[in-house]
């Protein structure tokens, strides 16, 4: 296994991260600053055995500032060099080539009316603006967002009218993270569900085909800080009490879970890779946990070797790239960490 790191920011944490999905070059990534509000494009280099610091020439591009506060979310479209970013209540879509804004909207929710059979009909409302805590492309033309005002909103980028085309109120607390499933028909992938994790401990899932809202409660574990969807029904939920839960949404069953042994002080994520769960820590490490039956076993601990401080020990976002067999993590002191040739 090889390790390398990139000094992405000098005086800022990295609060958001995305692979550039449409590129033929899997090394391209976007980062969003927590303190300087800058979005940067990097081409990550493969670490060399005699050199741990890579990309010393800096980012390929620093985009003009489009936000005036922390970049809470970043995501790239599957086709075209386009990304969506969010900060405060603003959602902005940007062309990476021209660096021009393609779409900009305030995350104003809509009021939902729900009949007895739980189908959703939607009417416009004058709710207060909603700080965005997560934002993702569902398709290349449809962006979903969630946030402080506990609404899931969907925006159609093809429409000139700057308002959600779909919106639903979910609970009574912050919606911290959203994920969606993918179902293959052998040729194309279709999204049938969007799931959102709330600070009230509930996982809310919208069945798009049936237009139904499904609620799965997890009162014993505290707030859901991250939702990762894998395949058609599986999800990994991260809770602020340190619990990591592997959950099947189709039949509302917990397949397995483990606790890291302490409460989270920062928003962190976990991903499932085959029979492993990958997660960051606030101890300067990334952990790989293997599912053995219904029990998780700690298999590997990847340590970051970059010069660090207390903020640098917070590895808040962790991602896996299957095509490169690579783990990438961001940190509280503006460094990107890279581990190649992961032993799985």
Q: Which residue has the higher pLDDT, 63 or 344?
A: 63
Write down the pLDDT at residue 207: 87
Q: Quick one: pLDDT band at residue 124, thresholds 50, 70, 90?
A: very low
Give mean pLDDT, residues 255-267: 90
Provide mean pLDDT across the span 64-90.
94
Q: What is the percent of the chain with per-residue pLDDT over 70, rounded to a whole number?
A: 91
pLDDT score recorded for residue 114: 33
Closest CA to 181 of 235, 217, 139: 235
Residue given tokens 């603006």 in the structure block: 129
Cβ-proximal residues to 285 (8 Å cutoff; 6+ apart), any chain: 301, 302, 303, 304, 315
- Please report the pLDDT score of residue 120 as a whole number: 42
Instruction: Return mean pLDDT, the chain.
Output: 88
Are 263 and 241 a contacting pair, CB within 8 Å?
Answer: yes
Residue 256 in this model has a pLDDT that exceeds 60: yes
Q: What is the DSSP letter of 269?
A: -
pLDDT value of position 244: 94
Q: Which residue has the higher pLDDT, 308 or 51?
A: 308
C-beta contacts of 221-224 below 8 A and 24+ residues apart: 221/245, 223/173, 223/174, 223/176, 223/197, 223/198, 223/199, 224/176, 224/177, 224/197, 224/198, 224/199
Dihedral angle computed from the Cα positions of residues 182, 116, 218 and 266, in that order, rounded to the nearest 10 degrees? 70
- Residue 209: its pLDDT value, please? 80
Model pLDDT for residues 151-199, shown as the tens digit of each residue: 999 999 999 888 899 999 999 999 999 999 876 666 566 788 999 999 9
> Quick one: pLDDT band at residue 50, thresholds 50, 70, 90?
low
SS3 state at 221? helix
Higher pLDDT, 159 or 51: 159
Q: What is the pLDDT of residue 126?
A: 40
> pTM of the full predicted structure?
0.89
Alpha-carbon span 237 to 257, nearest angstrom: 9
113 or 315, higher pLDDT: 315
Q: Is 222 left (phi over 0), alpha (psi -120 to 50) or beta?
A: left
Q: Which of 47-51, 101-105, 166-170, 325-329 has the lowest mean pLDDT?
A: 47-51
Mean pLDDT of 284-290: 90
DSSP E strand boundaries for 88-147: 90-95, 101-106, 111-114, 120-123, 132-139, 142-147
Give the DSSP letter of residue 129.
Answer: P
Instruction: Return the structure tokens found at 228.
Output: 């990762």
Task: Name the percent of the chain lying above pLDDT 90.
Answer: 62
**Averaged pLDDT, 301-315:** 82
Sorted by where each starts, the structural domains of the chain and their CATH numbers stand as 107-264 (2.130.10.10)
| pLDDT value at 128 more than 50 | no
């Amino acid at each position: 296994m090889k390790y390398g790191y990139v000094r992405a920011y000098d005086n800022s944490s990295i609060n958001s991260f995305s692979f550039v999905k449409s590129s033929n070059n899997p090394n391209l990534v976007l980062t969003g600053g927590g303190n300087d509000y800058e979005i940067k494009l990097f081409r990550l280099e493969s670490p060399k055995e005699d050199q741990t610091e890579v990309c010393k020439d800096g980012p390929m591009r620093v985009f003009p500032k489009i936000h005036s506060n922390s970049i809470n979310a970043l995501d790239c479209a599957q086709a075209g060099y386009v990304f969506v970013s969010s900060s405060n209540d603003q959602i902005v879509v940007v062309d990476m080539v021209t660096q021009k804004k393609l779409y900009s909207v305030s995350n104003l929710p809509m009021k939902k009316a729900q009949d007895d059979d739980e189908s959703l009909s939607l009417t416009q409302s004058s709710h207060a603006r909603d700080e965005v805590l997560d934002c993702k492309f569902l398709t290349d033309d449809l962006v979903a967002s969630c946030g402080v005002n506990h609404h899931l909103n969907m925006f159609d980028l093809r429409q000139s009218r700057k308002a959600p085309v779909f919106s639903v109120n979910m609970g009574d607390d912050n919606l911290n993270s959203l994920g969606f499933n993918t179902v293959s028909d052998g040729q194309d992938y279709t999204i049938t569900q969007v799931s959102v994790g709330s600070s009230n401990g509930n996982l809310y899932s919208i069945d798009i085909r049936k237009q139904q809202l499904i609620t799965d409660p997890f009162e014993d574990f505290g707030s859901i800080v991250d939702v990762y969807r894998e395949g058609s029904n599986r999800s990994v939920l991260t809770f602020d009490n340190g619990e990591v839960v592997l959950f099947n949404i189709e039949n509302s069953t917990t397949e397995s879970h483990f606790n890291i042994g302490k409460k989270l002080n920062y928003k962190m994520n976990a991903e499932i890779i085959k029979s492993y769960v990958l997660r960051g820590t606030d101890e300067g490490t990334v952990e790989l946990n293997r599912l053995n039956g219904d029990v998780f076993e700690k298999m590997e601990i990847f340590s970051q070797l970059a010069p660090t401080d207390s903020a640098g020990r917070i590895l808040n976002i962790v991602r896996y790239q299957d095509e490169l067999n690579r783990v990438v993590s961001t940190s509280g002191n503006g460094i990107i960490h890279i581990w190649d040739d992961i032993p799985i």
